[in-house]
Chain A
């Protein structure tokens, strides 16, 4: 398992243009598989257009205490991109202007941003209905200064969404690094102790499952049942919902697919599982993703591929909801990841 980001390793795939080139050549270049836009056209849904903006997802920076092998952000301790307080102030303006009912903070590990707490305090006053922080769990136990995070989250009524790729140690550690499972369990216990995931507490704790390898996630409900049973029996841990997320073929997961010679089979599986019903509900239709430096994207994946929104408005400072509404969503072959099977989004299945 790598301990550094693609960027730090100076890997060719750290360049988004190289990734997009890879995703357009080979089996897609020679016509063996249809391009995503061709596939979408066959079901009459090209071009993809946004619906009403509901979710604003802010990436507070690519720095993370973990170096997960599937990370689409290429996050890690060596990444220095961090949202400044100045950009956060722009975000606060946009939150008020946008009418979005959900605010979703992600990273990297968003908690590592030095202005994280200030921002959460300010943003929680903005009248958002659902305020999500995506926590990787281990950050809570990584350092004494983070130990009170469950209490801090509770105080601001934050909805915690945490990654736990499996309810067993081996698969979790293989994907996320040695020791990650035990630390995650410890952090989940701390969140439970603060009331998170407990019945009638009103404090939501959701978990995110993503496959530990080159295969698609199975039925979300069945996996949720297995997760709940195992975590309760083995560790007395409770949580609310499980979100199944398909790994998209970009960044470090793309690196893994190529190195393990699974790329072609994986892309074929995604294309074969194409579900027109999922296209209707893909998250890029109701989400805007904001990068650490204030640029706007259709989703977090497009952010990592450097595909800014196709609009005259491309930055927070020029935010204009109506102009953004009238854009076409940028797509490439990675989009097959969100339309396979039951569909996939940051909120799990979409059908």
Chain B
């Protein structure tokens, strides 16, 4: 067994999850591929969203995959960094907006 939880080489093996559950694995990958097709959003826009979400969920595999995907699509580094800031802003905001809950509770419990 590897001594680290993440191994870059595992990304290539993603498809192997279907080996232990063919039906659900296949359904997932079919869905996944459909999601990234051109639709109301361009494939380029979807790639940037995926990159931002990859950072928010802190998935190293996804970060590798969507940085490369962005490069292939001609997405520039400034666009990538801005997308990550969007993710960070939402994540930061999500933390801070709970501050209101803290304030509510504080006020309720205080005389």
Q: How far, in Å, is B66 (CB) from chain A's closest CB?
A: 12
Q: How far, in Å, is B85 (CB) from chain A's closest CB?
A: 20
Do A215 and B43 touch (CB < 8 A)? Answer: no
Residue of B42, B44, B72, B76 touching A217 (CB-CB under 8 A): B72
- Chain B residues, CB < 8 A from A45: none
- Chain A residues, CB < 8 A from B68: 215
Complex Cα–Cα for A213 and B74 (A): 11
Q: How far, in Å, is A228 (CB) from chain B's closest CB?
A: 12
Do B44 and A222 touch (CB < 8 A)? Answer: yes
What is the chain A residue whose CB lies nearest that of B12?
Answer: A268
In this assembly, does B91 line the interface, its C-beta being within 8 Å of a C-beta of chain A? no
Do A222 and B43 touch (CB < 8 A)? Answer: yes
Complex Cα–Cα for A223 and B38 (A): 14
Do A211 and B44 touch (CB < 8 A)? Answer: no
Complex Cα–Cα for A166 and B74 (A): 8
Within 8 A of A (CB), among B44-78: 44, 68, 71-74, 76
Complex Cα–Cα for A219 and B73 (A): 8
Complex Cα–Cα for A219 and B44 (A): 10
Q: Known: A219-B43, A268-B12. Is A226-B74 also a contact (CB below 8 A)?
A: yes
Complex Cα–Cα for A182 and B50 (A): 33
Q: Known: A168-B76, A268-B12. Is A215-B71 also a contact (CB below 8 A)?
A: yes
Do B72 and A222 touch (CB < 8 A)? Answer: no
- Chain B residues, CB < 8 A from A166: 74
Within 8 A of B (CB), among A213-253: 213, 215-219, 222-223, 226
If over half of A's interface residues share one DSSP class (helix, strand or loop), that class is named, otherwise mixed; here it is: loop
Q: How far, in Å, is B12 (CB) from chain A's closest CB?
A: 7
- Chain A residues, CB < 8 A from B72: 211, 215-218
What is the chain B residue whose CB lies nearest that of A166?
Answer: B74
Q: How far, in Å, is B52 (CB) from chain A's closest CB?
A: 19
Complex Cα–Cα for A346 and B42 (A): 27
Q: How far, in Å, is A174 (CB) from chain B's closest CB?
A: 12
Complex Cα–Cα for A223 and B43 (A): 12
Q: Known: A219-B43, A222-B43. Is A213-B71 also a contact (CB below 8 A)?
A: yes
Q: How far, in Å, is A171 (CB) from chain B's closest CB?
A: 8
- Chain A residues, CB < 8 A from B73: 218-219, 222-223
Complex Cα–Cα for A272 and B13 (A): 12
- Chain A residues, CB < 8 A from B43: 219, 222
- Chain A residues, CB < 8 A from B12: 268, 272
What is the chain B residue whose CB lies nearest that of A269?
Answer: B68
- Chain B residues, CB < 8 A from A168: 76
- Chain B residues, CB < 8 A from A218: 72-74
- Chain A residues, CB < 8 A from B76: 168
- Chain B residues, CB < 8 A from A268: 12
What is the chain B residue whose CB lies nearest that of A226?
Answer: B74
Q: How far, in Å, is B78 (CB) from chain A's closest CB?
A: 10
What is the chain A residue whose CB lies nearest that of B11?
Answer: A265
Q: How far, in Å, is B74 (CB) from chain A's closest CB?
A: 5
Q: How far, in Å, is B27 (CB) from chain A's closest CB?
A: 22
- Chain B residues, CB < 8 A from A215: 68, 71-72
Which of B42, B71, B76 has the most A CB atoms < 10 Å from its CB?
B71
Complex Cα–Cα for A140 and B68 (A): 34
Q: How far, in Å, is A253 (CB) from chain B's closest CB?
A: 16
Complex Cα–Cα for A211 and B75 (A): 12
Complex Cα–Cα for A217 and B43 (A): 14
What is the chain A residue whose CB lies nearest that of B64?
Answer: A265
Known: A216-B72, A223-B73, A226-B44. 12 other contacts (CB 8 A): A166-B74, A213-B71, A215-B72, A218-B74, A219-B43, A222-B42, A222-B43, A222-B44, A222-B73, A226-B74, A268-B12, A272-B12
Sample of 16 A–B contacts (CB below 8 Å): A166-B74, A211-B72, A213-B71, A215-B71, A215-B72, A216-B72, A217-B72, A218-B72, A219-B43, A219-B73, A222-B42, A222-B43, A222-B44, A222-B73, A223-B74, A272-B12
